[in-house]
Amino acid sequence: MNKQINPPENKEVYHFIEEIIREDLKSNKYNKEIHTRFPPEPNGYLHIGHAKAILLSYGLAEKYNGKFNLRFDDTNPDAEETEYVEGIINDVKWLGANWENREFFASNYFEQLYEWAEMLINKGKAYVCEQTPEQVSENRGTPQVPGKSPFRDRPIQESLNLFRKMRAGEFTENTMTLRAKIDMASPNMHMRDPIMYRIKHKHHHRTGDKWCIYPTYDWTHGQSDFIEGITHSLCTLEFENHRPLYNWYLDQLVEQGAYRPRQIEFARLNINYTVMSKRKLLRLVKEKYVNGWDDPRMPTITGLRRRGYTPQSIKTFAEKVGIAKRENVIDLSLLEYAIRDDLNKTAQRVMAVIDPLKVIITNYPKDKTEFLEAINNPEDETMGTRQVPFSKELFIEKDDFIENPPKKFFRLGIGREVRLRYAYFITCNDIVKDENGNITEIHCTYDPQSRGGKSPDGRKVKGTLHWVDAKNAIQTEVRLYDRLFIKENPEDVAENEDFINNLNPDSLITTKGFIEPFIKYAKIQDKFQFERLGYFCVDNDTTENNIIFNRTVTLKDSWAKK
């Protein structure tokens, strides 16, 4: 009752990573500006979880006048391709992250890493192991049982010779590795003499056939951060157990107290009704459940872009999601909120009918067409107005007419009067049905006094409908999208099923749209609000004779729910 209201505090709140950065800046820990990076592996396209990571690292660098690098973590030639490098560059740029000229590849550092590896061998901290992958795995032990490594006491010179021969291509794959000599009894499995190099006689998208040994992630990542002068190396929680190894490698190269990068982990993004792992997304693409990485149903950045999402909406979303260390599943509705919030302020309004019902204005002259003024965006006066044609035959939405409507239905029914937006009040007098009883057209009269949608006598109507002039309407293709999965958690499946069983069969419905002529000037990616229906954007597949619209998101509809 007497609850006291807090005085408004404009105190900015910082998440734990920003807190760390602020302290480091205060203590001048690095003796320079902060430096972050985004390190994608070019083996697939980026998704919105990556967007969160990019916006975090870039946003922090920008806010604190630091630097941000883009670095491709291309240490495994098996699945990495130039196509993905280009896709990733495109997506990061589109999001607005700026890495200036600092576009790097871990493969640039292969020679340096190799030298450091020899150094470790010489220090007795690394050795060549001659076991098959199966043997390495068997001998690793279990979390409770220490492992063993039969070659770890091999003389330094012998390891050095073998390592050089590995590089020279004298051995076949899976016969030999270079391993760090750490602790085969560590409770942290990553510390049980991790692999530093493996043999792969594979062509690399950057280094070609120069190398046949490739460094592993752990041996590459921290060292690359170090080479680039990264201060805060942000990654997701699953790398938490790698941090001791990240630090161990740096210990071998860096003096106590000297500069070194710091790895900090945060929780990855999950959203309900979709999947977010590269492996699963790749499967959706490869097995053609969707039409490629940029299918508008995909949570990829390229898919969201094609769907009509804006960089701003993704930034808003990433901010609202926050940064923390606990596992999370974000409601899809938050993403939808973010895009509606942006498009409401920016999108051109237009009237379009997707499921048409013909309306004949019986008292309107047969050959007349007049033009009515419509507002382009009620949220932004500077966007101006446009002229919309009106004549005797129109289309309205089938949903907007019920023969015998219930009391709370504000739209059209027999004997009811509604407003056609920006046009006239009309009253329905009669309907025409086909032999199956389906309504084929409705007959209305209009009130010429109500031009523009106002009645001079001040009488009110509760409903306002969107409409298009049948004669002047432009016919387009419209693709209606819905959530990709039927279940909140796509992994919620019966035994011997998988997430594929939860795909939503109605995630894409292709239909037609009849749109006012204004739309003929639309270009690919242009975004519109189809009044009362939702936000739509022009799809890439659009050709001169066939405009195609993607529905980005519907408008909130507090009537449909009832």
Partner RNA sequence: UGACCUAUGGUGUAAUGGUAGCACUUAUGAUUUUGGUUCAUACAGUUAAGGUUCGAAUCCUUGUAGGUCAACCA
Window 260-279: residues binding RNA (CB under 7 A): 267
- Helix, strand, coil shares, percent, the chain, to 5: 30, 25, 45
Rounded alpha-carbon distances, angstroms, from residue 395 to 118, 439, 446: 76, 13, 15
The reply to whether 339 sits near RNA by the rule CB under 7 A is no
Does 75 sit near RNA (CB under 7 A)?
A: yes
Task: From the candidates 52, 192, 198, 278, give the one annotated as an active-site residue.
Answer: 278
Q: Which stretch binds RNA (CB under 7 A): 50-58, 132-140, 286-294, 540-548?
A: 132-140
Q: How far apart are CA 97 and CA 45, in angstroms?
A: 16
**Catalytic residue at 397?**
no
| Contact with RNA (CB under 7 A) among 23, 82, 133, 158 | 133
The smaller minimum CB distance to RNA, of residues 143 and 505, is found at 143
326 sits near RNA (criterion: CB under 7 A): yes
Site for RNA in 514-553 (CB under 7 A): 529, 531-532
The yes or no reply on residue 142 touching RNA (CB under 7 A) is yes
> Is residue 464 at the binding interface for RNA, with CB under 7 A as the rule?
yes
Determine if 289 is a binding residue for RNA (CB under 7 A).
no
Distance, in Å, from the CA atom of 526 to the CA atom of 353, rounded to the nearest integer, reads 18
User: Considering only CA atoms, which of 259, 225, 253, 228 is closest in space to residue 239?
Assistant: 225
Single-letter amino acid, residue 265: E
CA dist list (Å): 317 to 103, 310, 343, 404:
26, 11, 14, 43
Which of the residues 8 through 37 are near RNA (CB under 7 A)?
13-16, 19
Per annotation, catalytic residue among 29, 41, 164, 319: 41
Show contacts with RNA in window 367-396 (CB under 7 A).
377-379
Task: Examine the residue annotation and report whether 41 is marked as an active-site residue of this protein.
Answer: yes
Q: Closest Cα partner for 342 from 310, 320, 318, 319?
A: 310
The reply to whether 313 sits near RNA by the rule CB under 7 A is no
Active site residue 451: no
| Residue 137 binds RNA (CB under 7 A) | yes
Is 49 a residue that touches RNA (CB under 7 A)? no
Distance (Å, rounded) from C-alpha 445 to C-alpha 362? 6
| Cβ-contact 162, 128 below 8 angstroms | yes
**Binding status of residue 329 toward RNA by CB under 7 A:** yes
Beta strands in 159-261 (DSSP E): 177-180, 195-199, 213-215, 232-236
CA-CA distance, 94 to 44, in Å (whole number)?
17
Contact stretch for RNA (CB under 7 A) within 117-125, 210-218, 289-297, 469-477: 210-218
Q: Which of 268, 283, 325, 483 is catalytic?
A: 268
- The residue type of 12 is E
Only one of the segments 181-189, 281-289, 299-307, 513-521 lies at the binding site for RNA (rule: CB under 7 A); that segment is 181-189
Active site positions, annotated:
41, 268, 278
